Amino acid sequence: MLELKHLKTLVTLEQSHCLNKAAKQLFTTQSALSHQIKSLEHRLNHKLFIRRSNPLIFTPQGKVLLALAKEVLPKVEQAKIQLSAQKATKVQRMPFNFAMQCHSGFQWLLPAIKAFSGQQPALEVDLIEKSVFTLSPGSDLPDFNILLTDKKSNHQELVYQDIGTFELVLALSKEDPLADKAYIQADDLTDKTLITYPLSPEQQDIFNLFLQPASCQPARLRQVENSDVILQMVEAGLGVSAIPDWLAAPQIRQGKLKSKSIGRHGISRKLYAAYRPDQAKWAEHFVPIARRQFSEFSSASSLH
């Protein structure tokens, strides 16, 4: 009854917030896409979104399927990568590990890794999911070929290539009093619950670049692994969260959330691909793919 194409359609609808744009992104016609959705709604006996809403508003049943899509599709892509890496069992292939220090990067990173893996049949590509570590000068490097990170270390063995730039913003519910401010000041968070990924404060930009220099701390700290859960908690008014601007963009377009610059000038961050010099030939292939994928994903999610 429910197919992957339906899940992809729902995610695309949320990102594009209208049927016409979603059809273009899915390389189909608006009428064909409308027919697909109506057929699914008929089989489920539920409407999935409110027609002619602008931005598009999902029904409660639609939200259930949308949450399922966001959980299932990244896992499907990761499974495809792993299956692709296991195809040529008779050929001895070289293990090639990607690592990631930024929790919110799966949406754009997995397609980039898939494209790279397709171009490099001699490599057995894998992704180290739990890869939060500190790269200090003189320390031994963990077992990775390319690391995706938003922090440059002083480790003398690593080369860094820019992937793209994003702004770290504060996501908050539309009813939060801070939603009326031009930007967020450090003492605005002293009575707030700050929802973060499961990292120590020393590993988080919101503390290092904003709160600690002002000698401020949030009233409470709550750590959550999943990006979608973080956004839902913020929407419910259970706290605020410092996240990349593109991650919050779909919910902001739909009027579910607000976002504010952190500090008068905002916090701009860069994504990097880091690697040892002996991995440069592989990085030359991967970095252009990653830049293109991140740029396309950021543009699709942009508020502008």
Q: What is the pLDDT of residue 140?
A: 56
Q: Partners of 160 in the beta sheet?
A: 274
Q: What is the pLDDT of residue 238?
A: 95
Separation in Å, CA 69 to CA 62, 80, 176: 10, 16, 29
Q: What is the pLDDT of residue 279?
A: 93
Q: Give the max Cα distance, the chain.
A: 62
- Neighbour-count burial of 95, counting CB atoms closer than 10 A to its CB (0-12 exposed, 13-18 middle, 19+ buried): exposed
Low-confidence ranges of the chain (pLDDT < 50): 131, 137, 303-304
Q: What is the pLDDT of residue 257?
A: 92
Q: What is the pLDDT of residue 12?
A: 87
Q: What is the torsional sign of CA 34, 35, 41, 47?
A: positive
